[in-house]
Amino acid sequence: MIKKVLTIAGSDSGGCAGIQADIKSISACGGFATSVITAITSQNTLGVTYIEELSLKSIETQLDAVLSDIGTDAVKTGMVASTDIIKLIAEKITEYKITNYVFDPVMVATSGDTLLKSDAIESLKKYLLPLSMLITPNIPEAEILSNITINSDETIKEAAKIIHSQGAKNVLIKGGHADNKYSTDILYDGTTFKEFKDLRIDTKNTHGTGCTYSAAIATNIAREHNLYDAIALSKKYITESLKYGVDMNIGAGSGPVNHFYMLNKTV
């Protein structure tokens, strides 16, 4: 049976990130994607020009519609912009006894536009982080969550320990914002550290990489891979998506990765 993966996130009208990227990623990795939209963003490869949150009633009824009938084998969250939305999602994760929950703490878009209200950061820590099987911050997000400056592998590990102490079962800090030959992501499970490393791809088309990666991890968890293998498979997927997205001429700014590279790659 095909495994079901629910993404709870904002809609990106440009199709690069958010719900649109998640659905592409889940589908490419072999899952059946369902979705709950938390906000509508007017967005393209150059930036975000407008954000409108959906009502709590709309978000709640979407959640109940999907979970009461279709159910899910894993959940991932992306853009959840306000405290009220965060509390509602936490209540539903608890109500429906969801354990395979991947928490991507989306705070800032690739363009630099803010996607999370400042007063909601503590709510993320209080309500969603303790429910997560895995949290997947990039370096800037990990700095905000841990309240330390990250400038080395040692400070990445220090930040991971702090975030783990806040309630996350597993912490994966992504190395995409570092400046070196390899893109290295570091996983901390409360006891040990493991690295996931691949060559860094030189490309401007990185819009939606975090959404794509976390959705892939959730899908591979749903498909019953253990956490280490789920991350390793998803790391390979995002790297290939970046590699085969280098020449995609979509928009004037930071374009999308190639979610379905396997359909048109020539080598």
Q: What is the count of structural domains for the chain?
A: 1
Mean pLDDT of 207-213: 96
Structure tokens at 33: 């994607």
Listed in sequence order, the residues at least 6 apart from 58 whose beta carbon sits closer than 8 Å to its beta carbon are none
Q: Give the pLDDT band (50/70/90) at residue 177.
A: low
Supply the range of the domain harboring residue 70: 4-263
**Using DSSP, how many helices (H) and how many strands (E) does the chain show?**
8, 9
Please tell me the pTM assigned to this model.
0.96
Q: How far apart are CA 132 and CA 178, in angstroms?
A: 25
Q: What six digits make up the tokens of 27?
A: 């589908």
Residue 166 tokens, joined? 């806040």
The CATH number assigned to the domain holding 153 equals: 3.40.1190.20
What digits encode the pLDDT tens for the residues 109-157?
Answer: 666 666 777 788 999 999 999 999 999 999 999 999 999 999 999 999 9
Half-sphere exposure of 80 (CA within 13 A, CB side): 28
List pLDDT tens digits, range 11-46: 999 999 999 999 999 999 999 999 999 999 999 999
pLDDT tens, position by position, 182-193: 999 999 999 999
User: How far apart, in whole angstroms, are the C-alpha atoms of residue 148 and residue 239?
Assistant: 28
Taking all residues of the chain, what is their mean pLDDT, rounded to a whole number?
A: 94
Catalytic residue numbers read 174, 206, 208-211
